[in-house]
Amino acid sequence: MSAGTVTAVWGNAFVRLPDGSLKPVQVGDKVKGGERILTDEDGIVEISPAHGASILHKATVAPDAVSKAIAGIEGQDPDQAPAAGLTGGAEGGMQPGLRVDRVSESVGQLAFEFGTARDQAAPPVGSSADQRLLASSLPQASINDVEVNEGAGSATFTITLDRASTSPVTIQYGTQSGTAADGDFSPRSGSVTFNPGETSKTVSVPIVNDAVYEGPEDFRVKLSAPTNAVLAKDTGLATIHDDGTGSTPAGVTADDDRPHVVSVSDAQTTEGGDLVFHVKVSNESTTPTTLTLKLTGLGDHPALPGVDTGSDIKVSIDGGSPVSAQIDANGNITVPLPAFTSPNTDIAVHVSTKVDGQVEGIEALQLSVTTPYDTVGPANTGTGIIVDADTKPYMLVLQGEPAVEGNPVGFNVVLTHATDAPVTVKLALANITDASGVPDPEGARIGLDTGTQLEYQAADGSWVNLPSTGLLTFAPGQTEWHVRVATVDDKEVESTEYVKLMATVVAGDTANGLNVPTSNKTALVDNDLPPVAAVHDHVSATDTNLMIMLDTSGSMNSDSGIHGLTRMEAAIEAVNNLLDRYDQIGDVAVRLVTFSTNASEQGTAWLSVSEAKALLASLEHAGDGGTYYNHALSAAMTAFDTADGKLGNAQNVAYFLSDGVPTEPHVGTNLGDGRLSAQELADWLNFVDSHQIKSYAIGMGGDVSQTFLDGIAFDGQAVADTNGVVVSDFAQLDQVLSGTTHDFVQGSISTGGALGQAGSEFLHVSSIVVDGTEHAFQSGVLTLHTNLGGLFSIDMSTGEYSYAAPAQLADGVATEIIGFSLINEQGQTSTSTLDIQFDHTHVIAGTSLGETLTGSNTADWLMGRQGDDIIVAGGGNDQLFGNAGNDELHGDAGDDLLVGGQGNDTMFGGSGSDVFAWHLSDRGASGAVADRALDTIQDFDAHAHAAGGDVLDLRDLLQGENTVGGTGNLDHYLQFDSSGGNTIIKVAPTGDFVPGDAASGTASQHIVIDGGHFLSDLGLDTSATNVQIIAKLLQQGNLLVDHA
């Protein structure tokens, strides 16, 4: 039953939900019988009772303050006007639009109860527990504004809490149209949930990239219905730009739909006629576009606007009636182009000319046509030729329309007006050279790029070979010959080339005179696709000693939310899949520990995958008891040290999986304590470190706190602290566990961006060839088992692929070779190969002493541990971890990962594309010279990663960085100093550099790039700024950071 409706709220007021969380009270909320409303000391909630509902009872929260706020009786006449005014506001403190009337009776001191008549077991409003809750207001949620380019694909908003909450926070969101309508973006609505400790979530809204210029458009994302939070900034504004500005993801070209003039034709007329130029624009626009036209004289015999031309210009659109406009004193005229004028629209500009009675020969002028977004250039200018009336004709060679290679290139050889006598010209193709005779690289090669036989078009339309003499005669009254030459459709990727035709009058009376050559050239456009680069990838098989610690407490009997499975059953299913994943990597030995109130080793020795799965199946699937983390880790350490069945030359990995927080002691009910003491936690960390165990701590369901998991998670291979992971939805558990394995590679066979997207030459994959069998295009993902035992999957629409190594792989190296063909819009295809090399990883761990570790010619995993070590990887794609000490790492051949670790390390990547990585724990204690970490890379290759260059991986070292808008805030983290020959990268892991102030911040990590070639390899000079260097490193793929 409803007890009433909230009609006014003053101050903070909340309703306690059944799970103990607090929900803000808002006007219009229905208050149910028995619900408790909690307010701060001066809070007021006005409730209009439902028909027949019980009245509200007296509360114990600040009766004096409440009474005074409502009745306002401090010496004032109770018959005065309402305390808050007619609409409330700043003086009364009420929300706009609400009204609270002063009670006009002698009420004395009033007090109001904010619970309803029916009482509940909850503590009274005035209890100390509630007072503590109310004294600490809820986190405030805000959403940011974004500006994106229309080609970005989506607009991503960030929803943040001003501080972390100890309870889950849920916030609803939905899009609202602004000047951007639904056709400009895809509406989205839903909710985001912040797990305890989380303060940031993102919401992405897809945006539509069209070819119409619309100008800035906006839409909003509105937040609502917060649980366990209040809204500070509830609206995020997205502005979509289609003018080349706005942010885009790395590698995506910004969309620019502004209309530009893309062509202006040439024109010719005899004095007294009209020069007719034809103009085309690039894009439609939703608003009219101003065209600015300007006439200027051109060449040695310029036509003067207003003298040789008429006093007006007429413009017609798609054959419509010409509109006259006057030329200003500067020769300019502006013409409004209607909205939605398409790129195919013919815009004709008519320029009248005058018969001046003077013999002047040919005069020339230039017409430039620009939009507000253009500068004057060849694309938006046309040449007008004015021929004297009643004079000798000129013979001219006019260029034809650009031709695509494989099609003939044409020319028009013309007389400016007819004569009464024949005129004979000699035609010849010519190579294009500069003044000194050096061939122009843009010139087509006669006989290679073109044929050698010229043809002319006869009166019946047929094409006839020009005689070997090259002679062609204009009959009396004839003014034009169409001439062409064949071109070669080669397979070379070339820029546009030009074919040159020379013509010389050898007989007849023309203004040219005899034996004076004239020429012109026509563009020959290449139609060859750029070659698709071969793609090289690598995956290594690795043997594993795998420890599983599985919670079997009573809470594991709860429903998982997956097809009626309990949490226990869902967890066992996910662990079975995890075992299969490691079994694909290489050989696996498994140890299983179950824990609740007590912990037990399952079996007495290391098990095979099949034995471990059988043992899991035999477990009692009904959980029982408490959750004792300490017992689990103690049993795990004992079990791990079992020698029977344990693999040598293998990596060590452990998984701790629990659905609850550790049991705490309670007087009278439970005296046990399942939490980890400081000593127990230290023992565990020492154990995983000394045994080189990579320990994952996974919380299953929403009842786990990451705080308890973080202490268990640790990378004993890299000697780096890591965080636990809470998987609130059991349906995601399998995916999260699978993501911790790395027996597969992922990539794209397209190096020019995602297929079918902006920037890519190709639409999709045309075919794939695996083990000699061709597979034609199909939408979606194609998955194939290879003869070598690998599993290859590819999305033929995007070109993204993944490859899982064979389940069983002997020592040595093998290579999968996969052929592929890409297709473009014209149906042309380009082929290449993807080769994936896989081998068996050798795991080599050092000791606490300084020593030399040497790898093999295949993949190695080398860990120096303590001491000053020298690690030499040899061939193969290797992983080198210096760990503690001042180490020297040599990657040698192959694409290697080098992690120096703590101390001052020296690293040599060697040949191949290498990754140099740092963890947060590798930094020094401070920025002081004696404290900071100083690592040196002796042979960093700063060429693009796709071209074999090296990579700096700073994702774990930097905290809170982003690349919003391009380089984001990275100049607060990185400074570059190349003044001393070497390049020193100063790193402030927490981002406290002040841009432009070299002395600011805590540079607790220095990275020295040896040699003076770093900037030159990047294509930058020594004056490059920090932002310019960062931008180039990101663009080339030489720098890995977290993007948001």
Task: Identify the three-state secondary structure at position 593.
Answer: strand
Percentage of the chain with pLDDT > 90?
48
**Contacting residues for 116 by C-beta, under 8 A, at least 6 apart:** 3, 4, 31, 32, 33, 34, 35, 53, 54, 56, 57
Q: How far is CA 700 from CA 660, 728, 735, 753, in A?
A: 8, 6, 12, 37
> Residue 34's pLDDT band (boundaries 50, 70, 90)?
low
Q: How many residues does the chain have?
A: 1044
DSSP 519: E
Euclidean distance between CA atoms 742 and 785, whole angstroms = 19
pLDDT in tens, 510-557: 888 899 899 888 888 776 666 677 777 777 667 899 999 999 999 999
Hey, do 261-387 and 537-739 end up sharing a CATH topology, with the first three levels equal?
Answer: no
- Give the domain 261-387 fold: Immunoglobulin-like (2.60.40)
- Which pLDDT score, from 0 to 100, does residue 390 have? 62
Angle formed at CA 305 by CA 302 and CA 311, multiple of 5 degrees: 155
* Residue from 105, 95, 98 nearest 73 by CA: 105
979 vs 468, more confident: 468
Confidence class of residue 83 from pLDDT cuts 50, 70 and 90? very low
Q: Which of 441-450, 472-481, 756-765 has the lowest mean pLDDT?
A: 756-765
Q: Are the C-beta atoms of residues 775 and 769 closer than 8 Å to each other?
A: yes
834 in Cβ contact with 782 (< 8 Å): no
Model confidence at 1029, pLDDT cuts 50, 70, 90, reads very high
What is d(CA 454, CA 468) in angstroms, rounded to the nearest whole number?
9
User: What mean pLDDT, rounded, does the chain reach?
Assistant: 84
Helix axis angle for 567-585 and 609-618, nearest 10°, is: 170
- φ/ψ (deg, to 5) at 78: -65, -10
Considering only residues 837 and 241, tell me which one the structure prediction assigns the higher pLDDT. 241
Three-state SS at 966: coil
* CA distance linking residue 591 with residue 348, whole number of Å: 82
Contact 776, 767 (CB under 8 A): yes
Which is nearest to 352 in space by CA: 330, 334, 326, 377? Answer: 326
User: Helix (H) and strand (E) counts for the chain?
Assistant: 10, 69
> Is the predicted pLDDT of residue 672 greater than 90, yes or no?
no
- Helix or strand or coil: residue 135? helix
**pLDDT number for residue 111:** 36
Kindly state the helix (H) or strand (E) to which residue 640 belongs, with its residue range: helix 629-640
Residue 667 one-letter amino acid: V
Distances (CA, A) of 964 to 158, 643, 987, 991: 11, 51, 19, 15
Q: Which residue has the tokens 């003014």?
A: 479
pLDDT in tens, 851-876: 999 998 877 888 888 889 999 999 88
Mean pLDDT along residues 188-198:
94
Return the closest-CA partner of residue 582 out of 657, 642, 652: 652
Tokens describing residue 941: 């290759």
CA dihedral 735, 736, 741, 743 (to 10 degrees): 30
Domain covering 537-739 in this structure, CATH number: 3.40.50.410
* Angle of the 678-690 helix axis to the 629-640 helix axis, nearest 10: 30
How sure is the predictor about 847, in pLDDT bands with cuts at 50, 70 and 90? confident
Residue 174 binned pLDDT confidence (cut-offs 50, 70, 90): very high
CA atoms within 13 A on the CB side of 935: 34
User: Which range has the top average pLDDT, 316-325, 752-761, 898-907?
Assistant: 898-907
CATH number of 395-525: 2.60.40.2030
User: Residue range 971-997: average pLDDT?
Assistant: 91
Q: Could you tell me if residue 319 is left (phi over 0), alpha (psi between -120 and 50 degrees) or otherwise beta?
A: left
pLDDT confidence bin for 400, thresholds 50/70/90: confident
What is the predicted pLDDT for the residue at 746? 74
CA distance linking residue 17 with residue 168, whole number of Å = 12
How many CB atoms sit inside 10 A of residue 594's CB? 22
Closest-CA residue to 217 (of 264, 190, 255) = 255
Range with lowest mean pLDDT among 21-35, 250-264, 607-621, 1002-1016: 21-35
**pLDDT band per the 50, 70, 90 thresholds, residue 48:** confident
Mean per-residue pLDDT for 986-990? 95
Please identify which residue in the block is written with the tokens 């890379």: 937
Q: Strand pairing of 480-487 and 791-795?
A: unpaired
Select from 529, 546, 510, 266 the least CA-distant residue to 400. Answer: 266
Residue whose entry in the numeric block shows the structure tokens 């060859």: 528
- Round to whole Å and give the CA distance between 337 and 283: 12
Average pLDDT value for residue range 926-936:
91
pLDDT of 366: 92
**What share of the chain in percent tops pLDDT 70?**
86
Q: What is the pLDDT of residue 743?
A: 60
CA distances to 268, 322, 366 from 280, in Å: 18, 16, 16
Which parts of 477-618 fold into alpha helices (H)? Answer: 567-585, 609-618
- As given in the structure block, the two tokens for residue 890 are 């040599």
State yes or no: pLDDT of 51 exceeds 70. Answer: no
Mean local confidence (pLDDT), 160-186: 92
pLDDT higher than 90, residue 380: no
Q: Which has more confidence, 96 or 929?
A: 929
Q: What is the Cα Rg of the chain in Å?
A: 39
Tell me the pLDDT band of 64, cut-offs 50, 70 and 90.
very low
Sign of the torsion angle spanned by Cα atoms 423, 427, 433, 436: negative
Instruction: Find the range with the poorest average confidence among 25-39, 414-428, 936-950, 1026-1040.
Output: 25-39
749 or 145, higher pLDDT: 145
Contact call for residues 87 and 96 (beta carbons, < 8 A): yes
Structure tokens at 983: 């390049």
Residue 128 has pLDDT above 80, yes or no: no
Q: What's CA 656's distance to the chain center, in Å? A: 33
pLDDT surpassing 50 at residue 202: yes
Chain-centroid distance of CA 518 in Å reads 54
Confidence of residue 689 (pLDDT cuts 50, 70, 90): very high
Compute the average pLDDT of residues 132-141.
Answer: 66
Q: What are phi and psi of 26, to 5 degrees?
A: -130, 155
Mean pLDDT calculated for residue range 889-903: 92
What is the third-level CATH fold of 140-241? Immunoglobulin-like (2.60.40)
Residue 596 has what pLDDT? 94
Query: Mean pLDDT across the stretch 37-64?
Result: 58
604-610 long-range contacts, CB within 8 A, separation 24+ = 604/642, 604/644, 605/642, 605/644, 605/645, 606/545, 606/642, 606/644, 606/645, 606/646, 606/647, 607/645, 609/579, 609/580, 609/582, 609/583
CA distance 587 to 689: 23
Q: For residue 870, which amino acid is it?
A: I
Looking at residue 331, its pLDDT comes to 62
Residue 59 has pLDDT above 60, yes or no: no
pLDDT digits (tens, 9 = 90+) for 786-830: 988 888 899 998 888 888 777 555 555 678 899 999 888 777 788
Q: How confident is the model at residue 402 (pLDDT cuts 50, 70, 90)?
A: confident
State residue 530's pLDDT score. Answer: 66
Phi, psi (5° rounding) for residue 576?
-60, -45
Domain boundaries, the chain: 4-49, 140-241, 261-387, 395-525, 537-739, 745-836, 841-1040
CB neighbour burial string for 534-558, b if at least 16 within 10 angstroms, e if fewer: ebebbbbbbbbbbbbbbbbbebbeb
DSSP-derived letter for residue 565 is -
Residues 722-781: tens digit of each pLDDT: 999 999 999 899 888 877 876 667 778 876 556 766 656 788 899 999 999 999 998 888
Determine the Cα–Cα distance for residues 207 and 353; give it in Å rounded to an integer. 50
What's the mean pLDDT in 574-580? 91
Which tokens go with 142?
């805000």
Q: Please state, as a whole number, how many other Cβ atoms lie within 10 Å of the Cβ of residue 339.
A: 13
Amino acid at 780: G
Please tell me the predicted confidence (pLDDT) of residue 751. 60
CB hemisphere CA count around 164 (13 angstroms):
8
DSSP-derived pairing of the beta strands 842-845 and 860-863: parallel
Residue 412 to residues 397, 430, 502, 592: CA-CA distances in angstroms? 6, 16, 11, 86
